[in-house]
Structure 1
C-alpha cells in the first residue's frame, strides 16, 4: 500500500471518529480559506432552530444534523437532507415524449444488439397512445425514425423499424444525442415530459470525443428542457462520462453487465419520466458567519458567497435522493443556540413554471458535557454520513483497481469496515449490517478480478455502489 492510500484511509476513519465522538475536525483535513471572512458563532434569535426539520409539498424534504449538541470551540458535523417525490393517489401518469438513442456500433454486434432491440420492443409495448417515441440509432452515422404517437398503427411501424436496426461503424455518441434532441423538439406532443434515453457499450470514437465537449452538449440539451438518462452496457464504456451525462442531464444512470436486463431499465426510466412531480430541482445551504462548508460529498456544487447550491435530478413520485454536507462550526460558545445552516429546496412542478420553495433552519446547542453530546447524536444521520464517507473510499478503490494497484484498492474497502463499525456504535450493529456485508462482497469481488473485463466490471460495480452511498438512491439504476 502506498503512502497516499494510508493517508486517505486514515483520514476517513479519523473524520468519522470526529463525527461519532463529537470531537474537533481531523488534523488530516485542512479547511479551505474562507474569502468572506469568519466571525464567532453568535446566538441567533428569531429563527426556529432545530436539529431536525421537515417541509412537504410535491417534494418532501427532511433535513437533520448529525450532532444536535456540539462542544465549545471548533468542531465538524454533517447535515443530511433527504428529498422524496410524493405519491399522488389516483393521479394519472403524464404523457412522455421520448427519444430512445441506441448504440449500434460494431461492438454491439450479436447478443448486445439483439437484447437492445428486444428491450426497445418492450418499451413500445409499454407506451400509451398519448405518448410519443422517436427511435434513433448511431454508429459512425446516425439514423432515426421520427417521433410518433404510440397509436396501434404507429406501434407496428416502430416495431418494424426496430427489427431493421443493424450493427455498423464507430461510436458517434454526439450525433446520436443531437438527433435525439432534434426528434424530441420536432414532436407534436404538447405538455409531455421530454426525455432522451441514451444506450452505449463503448467510448466515443467519432464526432465529439472529448469529455468536456460531450458534457457541454448534454448540459445544453438539459437547458432546453429535455432530461437525459444514460445506460452503459458491458465493461468497455466510460462510466465517468455516462454518469456525468445523467447528472448534467437531470436523469438517471444505469450500468448493466448483461444486456438482457435492458428491458427492466427502460421500463423503470419510462416510469420515472411519466410520474414526474418536480423538475429544475435545486438544494441550497446558506451558511452564516462562523460556519463553512468542508465538503459536499459526491455532488457537484456552485458557491456564491455563503450560499452553496446542488442541482438535483427531476423527481418522480416515490423517488428519494440524499445529500450529505460536511460542515465546520467555529468558535461555538457554551449554551448558545448555533445557527448551523439554512436549507432551501426549490423546484418547478412538471406543468407549471412558478418555482416552489421549502426553507428550514438547522441549529445546534453548545455544551461542554461530552456525555450529553454523545447521548444526543442523531443515529440515522451518523449512518448516512458513514455511507457518504465510504463512497469516497470506493471511488478511490475503483481507480486503484483499474490501474493495477489491487492491494491499495482493497485497503480503501477495508477502511470502510472501521467507518461502519464506528457508526454502528452510535446507531446499532444491525443498522450497518448490510453495509458491512457489502464491503465484504466488494473485497471478494476485488480478489476475483484478475484482469481485463473482470477488472473493468468490478470498477463499474464499485462506482455504481458509490453513487448510491453518496445518496443518489433513485437516480442510479
Structure 2
C-alpha cells in the first residue's frame, strides 16, 4: 500500500484528538481569536445546561437513555456524538415463554467428523431444554435438505427428535438458502399460535449450491423478519463467510455468534433459546429527526437509511435485560452564544410483547452555544465520550481485520495503533480507569496480529476481530 496513503489514514484516524480532549471538532473556517475577559468585568453566568442524560419519557418494555458528548458547543460548526442505550425490561419471576423454533444445521462434507458430532450433541442438549408447550423443527442441509417436521416438544416427541438427530450424516455441498427456506416453512405452519418464532442457523462454510450471492441470501433474512420470524446465525470454525452470517443476524433481527470450537455450540444454542423465550419487544426501529442546523455524519456499525431529515435504523428483537447501544456522529451548527440549539429528536417504535401493544419511546438532545472553550471541555459527557471512542475504534478494528485477511499485516497493525492513541486521549477526559480494559484489549489484539502466522490463524483472528468490532459498536446483547 502507498506509504503516503497510510500516513493520511493515520491522520484521519486521529482527527478525534480535539474532541476527546474536550473540544468538538470544528468546521472549516478562519480560526477565532482566543476569548479574553477584562479583569474588572466578570464573565456572564453560563446558561443552565441541558441534561447530558435524557431518560425515556414513555413507558414500555424498552428503556431508552440518551447522551450527548458535548452539551456545550462553541459557535460555528462542530462534530458531536449522540449515544442511545436501549434495554429490555426485566420481568421478575417470569418463566420462559413457549417458542416456535427451527434448528437448521449444516451437514455438508466440511462438517465431517468432530464438528458434526458436536453439532448433534448441541442439538440433543437443546431438545432436552424444551418444554411440552414449545415447538421444534429440525432441518439439516448439504446439497439437498431433509427435515423432521415441526412438532410440540412433548416427552414422546422429544424422543423422536433425539433419534432423528442421531441419524444425521455429513454429505454434499452447502445449500444454505434451501436450508433457510425449509426452516421458514416449518415455522410458518404454526406461526400464528406463538408470540416468538425463531430460526437458528449453524454453518461452517461458504454457500456453494442454490443461492450463493450474499444479497440473495440476506434477502431471505429480510423476508423472514418482515413476516415475523427472527433469524440467529452461528458460524463454526474458520472457513465460513462471517460477513454473510452477520448479515443474516442483522437483517433477521436475531443474534450472531462465532465459535472456533464446535464444542461450545450447546452453550450458544441454550443462550439463543433463553433469548427467544424471554423476548419483550420485536419490530424495533429507531427514527432520528434532524433539525435545521444538524446533519448526519454516520450511524456507526448499523445500516441506516435516510429520507430527507429522517434517519431510520432497525434494531434486533429484545429479550429481558438485553442492552444494545447506538452511537451516531452528527454535524451541528451553533450561531448565537447563549442559545440552546436542538441537536436531534428520536422516536423508538416497537411491538411491546409484555403489553401486547405498539409502543413508542422518545428523546430529544440539545446543546448550549458558548464562547468559553473551557466550558465546552468542563461540560463534556465522559460516558458518551468513551462510547464514541469505542465505536470509532470498532471502525479501525474492522479495517484491521480486512487488511489482515488480505495479507497486509503492517497496515492492520497501524489501525490498532490508531486505537491505542484514541484511548490514550480518551483517558484524559474520562480517566484512566474508564478505558483501562479497552487499552488492554487493543494491546492484546496488537500482540495477536503481530504473531499471527498461517492461514488458519489469520482467518480465526479476522473473525475474532469482527466480533470485537460488533460489540464495540454497541451490539452487546445480539453478539455472542
Please state which band the TM-score falls in when normalised by the shorter chain: over 0.9
| 3-state SS of 2:169 partner | coil
Tell me if structure 2 keeps the 8 A contact 1:191–1:351.
no
1:59 corresponds in structure 2 to 62
Alpha-carbon distance in structure 1 between the residues aligned to 2:148 and 2:77: 61
Deviation at 1:7, TM superposition (A): 2.4
Aligned to 1:276: 279
User: 1:449 and 2:475 equivalent?
Assistant: no
User: How far apart are 1:12 and its partner, in Å?
Assistant: 2.1
CA distance in 2, matches of 1:474, 1:4: 36
Matched, 1:393 2:396: yes
Runs (5+) with no aligned partner, structure 2: 29-48
CA distance, structure 2, for counterparts of residue 285 and residue 357 of structure 1: 13
Confirm whether residue 439 of structure 1 aligns to residue 442 of structure 2.
yes
Whether contact under 8 Å (1:18, 1:26) holds in the other structure is no
The equivalences for 1:306-325 within 5 A come to 306-325=309-328
The Cα shift of 1:189 comes to 7.1
Q: Does 1:303 align with 2:332?
A: no
How far apart are residue 187 of structure 1 and its match? 3.1
Distance of aligned partners of 1:26 and 1:411 in 2 relative to their CA distance in 1, 3 Å threshold: farther
SS at match of 2:14: helix
Unaligned runs of at least 5 residues, structure 1: 28-47
> 1:322-359 CA deviation, whole Å, 9 max, x = no partner?
00000011243210001001011111023766421011
Distance 1:129 1:4, change over 3 A: farther
Rounded to whole Å, the distance in 2 between the matches of 1:6 and 1:144 is: 54
**Corresponding residue for 2:245?**
242
Paired residue for 1:44? Answer: none
8 Å Cα contact 1:282-1:345 kept in structure 2:
yes
Deviations 1:4-28 (A, max 9, x none): 333233212112433433143477x
Q: Does 1:220 align with 2:223?
A: yes
Does structure 1 retain, via aligned residues, the 8 Å contact 2:27–2:77? no
Instruction: After TM superposition, give the deviation of residue 450 of structure 1 in Å.
Output: 1.3
Alignment partners' CA distance in 1, 2:140 and 2:133: 23
Partner residue of 1:288? 291
Q: Give yes or no for contact 1:49–1:361 (8 Å, CA) kept in 2.
A: no
Distance 1:230 1:410 in 2: 29
Deviation at 1:118, TM superposition (A): 0.3
**1:88 and 2:88 matched:** no
Alignment of 1:72-471 (within 5 A): 72-187=75-190, 190-350=193-353, 354-471=357-474
Q: 1:189 to 1:224 in 2, by over 3 A?
A: closer
**TM-score of the two chains, using structure 1 as the length reference:** 0.93
Q: Could you tell me which residue of structure 1 aligns to residue 7 of structure 2?
A: 6
Q: Aligned with 1:355: secondary structure?
A: strand
Change (3 A) 1:179 1:389: same
Cα deviation for residue 394 of structure 1 reads 0.4
Task: Give the structure-2-normalised TM-score.
Answer: 0.93
State the Cα deviation string for residues 171-197 of structure 1 (Å, max 9, x = none).
000000000001101137713410000
Q: Determine if contact 1:97/1:189 at 8 Å carries over to the other structure.
A: no
Aligned counterparts of 1:304 and 1:354: Cα–Cα separation in 2 = 27
What secondary structure does 1:161 align onto? helix
Distance in 1, matches of 2:104 and 2:179, equals: 6
* Structure-1 separation of matches of 2:294 and 2:300: 17
What secondary structure sits across from 2:16 in the alignment?
A: helix
Instruction: Supply the distance in 2 between the matched residues of 1:228 and 1:460 (Cα, whole angstroms).
Output: 20
DSSP 3-state at the match of 2:87: strand
Change (3 A) 1:26 1:298: farther
Q: Alpha-carbon deviation of 1:138?
A: 0.2
Structure 1 residues 248 and 188, CA, compared in 2 at 3 Å: closer, same or farther? Answer: closer
State how many pairs are aligned: 457
Residue 295 of structure 1: CA displacement?
1.3
Is residue 66–residue 382 contact of structure 1 (8 Å, CA) maintained in 2?
yes
Q: Deviations over 1:213-232 (max 9, x none)?
A: 10111111111110000000
Comparing 67-76 with 5-14, greater Cα deviation is found at 5-14
1:83–1:321 Cα contact (<8 Å) kept? yes
Any idea what the Cα deviations from partners look like across 1:198-226, whole Å, max 9, x if unmatched? 00000000000001110111111111110
Query: How far, CA to CA, are the matches of 2:158 and 2:405 in structure 1?
Result: 43
**After the TM superposition, which of the residue ranges 308-317 and 6-15 deviates more from structure 2?**
6-15
- Aligned residue number for residue 42 of structure 2: none
SS at match of 2:338: coil
Out of 290-299 and 186-195, give the one that drifted further: 186-195
**Alpha-carbon contact 1:11-1:26 (below 8 Å) kept:** no
